[in-house]
Amino acid sequence: MNNEFNPTYEDLKNIDTKLLEIKAKKNKHINRKMELQDQLSKYGDKYKTVDFNSSEFNSTKVTRQALKEQLSLIELEIKSCNDELNYKNKLRLEVMHFLKHSPKAKSDESERIIKQLIGLKNKYQDFNKDRTRIASLRIMAAEFIFELERIIK
C-alpha cells in the first residue's frame, strides 16, 4: 500500500466544495444564533413588566434558560464549523503547495491544456476547410492553427 501524499486538482476541487458546504452550514448556525439572541433580549425585556416570582416571571425564566441552552449548543456547532474550516483551509494550502511544486501535477495540467489547444486547433482547421467562409478569415484561421501547433510542440 502506498501512503504517499499525492493529491490531484480533483482533490483540490473537492476541498473547495467542502469548504463552501461548511461555510453554508456555519452561516445557517449564525442566523439561528442571531434569532435566539433576539428572543433572549425580548424575554429579558419581559422581566421589566412582570412581578418578581409570579407565574409569568417563572415562565419567562424557564424559557430564557431553554434559549440559553440552545444558544450554547449553536455556539458549539459554530466552533466545530470554524475548526473544520481551519483544518480544510490548511489542507487546501498543502494541496496547492504540492500541486504547484509537483512535476507530475504539472504534467497532468500540461496534458489537459494541450488537449484543449488541440481541440481549439481542430475547430479552426474545420473553419479553414469551410469554403463558404471569407478567404481572409480562412487565412487568419490557418495562421492561428500554425501558432497553436508551435505552442503545442
Q: Which residues contact 16 (CB under 8 A, 6 or more apart)?
A: 92
**Band of the pLDDT at 143, cuts 50, 70, 90?**
confident
78-91: per-residue pLDDT in tens?
999 999 999 999 99
How many domains does one find in the chain?
2
Do 125 and 77 have their domain in common? no
**pTM over 0.95, yes/no:** no
Q: What is the 3-state secondary structure (H, E, C) of 29-63?
A: HHHHHHHHHHHHHHHHHHHHHCCCCCHHHHHHHHH
CB 108 within 8 A of CB 9: yes
Residue 17's pLDDT is what? 95
Residue-wise pLDDT tens digits, 86-111: 999 999 999 988 888 776 666 666 77
Residue 145 shares a structural domain with residue 129: yes
Together in a domain, 60 and 133: no
Q: Is residue 32 located within the same domain as residue 56? A: yes
Domain encompassing residue 40: 1-101
Query: Is 54 in the same domain as 109?
Result: no
Cα four-point dihedral sign 57, 61, 63, 67: positive
**8 Å CB contact between 38 and 111:** no
User: Between the CA of residue 35 and those of 30, 31, 43, 47, 143, what are the distances in Å?
Assistant: 9, 6, 12, 19, 63
Query: Do residues 5 and 69 both lie within one domain?
Result: yes
Query: Do residues 24 and 4 both lie within one domain?
Result: yes
Query: Which cell numbers in the block locate residue 49?
Result: 413588566
**3 and 65 fall within a common domain:** yes
For the chain, give the percent of residues with pLDDT over 70: 93
> Do 52 and 126 reside in the same domain of the chain?
no
97 and 119 assigned to the same domain: no
